[in-house]
Amino acid sequence: MRFVGNAHCPTRGALPEAIIRVSLVNMRMTAPGRPTPLRRGLYLVTPEPLPGLALIARLLPFAACLQYRSKQADAAARRREAEALQALCERAGVPLIVNDDVALAAGVGAAGVHLGEHDEAIGAARAALGPHAILGSSCYDDPARAEAAARAGASYVAFGAFFPSPTKPQARRATPELLRDAARLGLPRVAIGGITPDNAPPLVAAGADLIAVISGVFAAPDPVAAARACAALFD
């Protein structure tokens, strides 16, 4: 099993890609004050409405982590769904990351939270969730935002959309060069936006440590086969 971790501060200068990737893969963030490690692979994101838990349970063996994303449900429903997903993730040994909501992540005992440009700051989330929490930052097409997130203590940086996305049709478009350039930050890089098992290989080749997928798995004719194919890209 290979992990990628957060050095908690960006490296200075541009180290060779091969050296950085070896360092990330071999890092085990188990020391006090360090975040939980992330395994390279499929970063599975839930669609809306939330699918049946039986299907999600079948997908989790192929996921490096699961993000609960809900923009439509009320607070009570979000709490119920997040609690159910946390229980599933605990049994599967897969970290649950909550989108946008630090309080909900803390309330259900999730592994971490993913934050966008209009959400709570990384530093405040770290103070609320503790040193071991996984804190992700949406960086869109903006390398300066990724640098700021790294300085603030993010656990990973996410770029995208790389392809047209039914979840966010108006999302800013990113290029694979962003993934390559972000290697110097020493953080795991997540690619997101319209990703499927078929179009993901160039992103993995460009340095993506995880590929975030919603419809590419859940809307596939065979979601389990799609999840398996995404995971296999990191073998």
Q: What's this model's pTM, rounded to 2 decimal places?
A: 0.86
- At 2 the pLDDT is 56
CA distances from 1 to 4, 98, 127, 136 (A): 10, 24, 30, 21
- At 34 the pLDDT is 57
Active site residue 168: yes
- At 35 the pLDDT is 66
Of the residues 138, 155, 184, 189, only one is catalytic, namely 138
Position 120 in a domain: yes
Phi-psi sector, 153: left (phi>0), alpha (psi -120 to 50), beta: left
Position 7 in a domain: no
Of the residues 168, 173, 180, 228, only one is catalytic, namely 168
- At 28 the pLDDT is 30
DSSP 185: G
Position 1 in a domain: no
Position 10 in a domain: no
Strand partners, 67: 45, 97
d(CA 169, CA 73): 20
Crossing angle for the helix pair 143-152 and 122-129, to the nearest 10 degrees: 30
| Pairing, β 3-4 against β 38-39 | antiparallel
Per the structure, the complete domain to which residue 76 belongs is given by: 15-232
How would DSSP label each residue in 195-225? --TTT-HHHHHTT-SEEEESHHHHTSSSHHH
Position 2 in a domain: no
Position 6 in a domain: no
Active site residue 138: yes
Structure tokens at 106: 């803390």
Position 198 in a domain: yes
d(CA 82, CA 11): 35
Active site residue 215: no
- At 26 the pLDDT is 33
Q: How many separate domains does the chain show?
A: 1
- At 4 the pLDDT is 64
- At 56 the pLDDT is 98
CATH number at residue 106: 3.20.20.70
| Other residues' Cβ atoms within 10 Å of the Cβ of residue 159 | 30
Residue stretches of the chain with pLDDT short of 70: 1-35
- At 99 the pLDDT is 98
